[in-house]
Structure 1
Amino acid sequence: MLAAAAQGEPDAAREALKAGADVEARDDRGRTPLILAATGDHDVVARILVDAGADPDAQDEQQDSAWLVTGVTGSVKMARVLIPAKPDYTLENRYGGTSLIPAGEHGHAEYIREVLKNTDMDVDHVNNLGWTALLEAIILGDGGEDHRKTVQYLLDGGADPKLADSNGVAPLQHAEDKGQDEIAALLRAADA
């Protein structure tokens, strides 16, 4: 089952289930088949696992779950597979973040738009560094089109443009310091 999930082989996954494979089996890093399918963006296998009752909240040794992995990969199709499984959107990764925070860092704009449209995730969740998804998109982003769209979708989803980091530095100040003029303009408009 683990190999079928990791390699994205739906027929092998179905056969493993028929043979009685454990849908919650763990590999040497504590990853379940559903986590492996999410990591590889194998949506067909993930759907098979979800239909078989796989736990979308099971976490591995690094505190990743299938849902949390989607924030890193930015996979809209995997998010759509997992949302019906009703994952715990408050579940945190090893950095104290929800899936929106790594999505902000990586500029996964379409993922953020999809998730904010179809879940009740807290758009202003603060991780262990004192950063929100909006702050991650600015601080760790490159200011390019993907991060600009990410900031726009976060703001559209209700992100607080004034919510400062743990040092009291607001998103606008970070954007200005990094020369992210278009993002700074978005933040000013949201605050108007």
Structure 2
Amino acid sequence: MQIKYLLLLLIITATTQAQSIFDNARNGDITAIEKQYKMNQDTINAVDSKGFTPLILAAYNNEVATVQMLINKGALIDAQDKSGNTALMGVAFKGNLEIVKILIENKANINLTNLNNATALIYASTFGQTEIVKFLLANGADKTIRDNRGNTALNHAAMQGHDALIELLSAE
């Protein structure tokens, strides 16, 4: 009987350890990330098959505390996935202003472009994230950058009918 319990305990332990840094970042499991970091500090900047880092996944999934913890541990703030997207780009269209502020305060490159030459400002404008657009502009976002189809953030806002953003992005 004790062997069965020992075997079950080993299986449960192995399953828990098998939880990836990516799953833990996605789910905001700071305790598990801390344990993984203690075992191997390089896990903070690990990259999955799509090029996602724990920071990109935490930001995209609105895990504010996890984003801050990963940055504090040395996560590469401007790491880009296989499409060239960063944590800032992902959160710009998801709409979490608090994470945008954390990333910018920690020196995220506000005008970095992905493989389509899109920026965080273009994403925020496309998805109607007015408060994020205001914050990005106030912190140096370049509204003249054009994506690979020649469209600026203003063009994207207009295509989507975001009137408040059209007015904001048209201002000198």
Normalising by the residue count of structure 2, what TM-score does the alignment of the two structures yield?
A: 0.81
Deviations 1:66-104 (A, max 9, x none): 112122212211101111221122311222111111211
Paired residue type of 1:138: A
Cα deviation, 1:5-62, whole Å, max 9, x if unaligned, reads 1112222222322333421111121111001111111111000011111111111111
- From 146, 160, 163, give the equivalent of 1:148: 163
Match of 2:123 among 90, 97, 102: 102
Amino acid at match of 1:106: F
2:8 paired residue number: none
- The question of 1:53 aligning with 2:68 is answered no
Residue 115 of structure 1 is matched in structure 2 by 136
Task: Give the match's secondary structure for 1:23.
Answer: helix
Secondary structure of the residue aligned to 1:151 is: helix
1:125 to 145, 150, 163: 145
1:24 aligned to which of 26, 33, 45: 45
Q: Percent identity?
A: 30
Q: Which amino acid in 1 is paired with 2:146?
A: V
Q: Equivalents in 2 of 1:120, 1:63: separation in Å? A: 20
Q: Distance in 1 between matches of 2:146 and 2:127?
A: 17
Report the residue type matching 1:8 in the other structure.
G
Does the CA-based 8 Å contact 2:126-2:153 persist in structure 1? yes
- 1:160-171 correspondence runs (5 A): none
Structure 2: where are the runs of 5+ without partners?
1-20
Q: Which is higher, the Rg of structure 1 or of structure 2?
A: 2
Write the letter of the residue equivalent to 2:124: A
Moved over 6 A (4+): none
C-alpha RMSD of the superposition: 1.5
2:109 — aligned with what?
A: 88
Equivalent in the alignment of 2:3: none
Which amino acid counterpart does residue 164 of structure 2 have in structure 1? K
CA contact under 8 A between 1:71 and 1:111: conserved in structure 2?
Answer: yes
Q: What TM-score comes out, normalization by structure 1 length? A: 0.73
Structure 1 residues without counterparts, runs of 5 or longer: 159-192
Structure 2 Cα separation of the partners of residues 133 and 74 of structure 1? 16
1:2 pairs with 2:22: yes
Number of aligned positions between the proteins:
151
Aligned to 1:189: none
Q: Distance in 1 between matches of 2:74 and 2:59?
A: 15
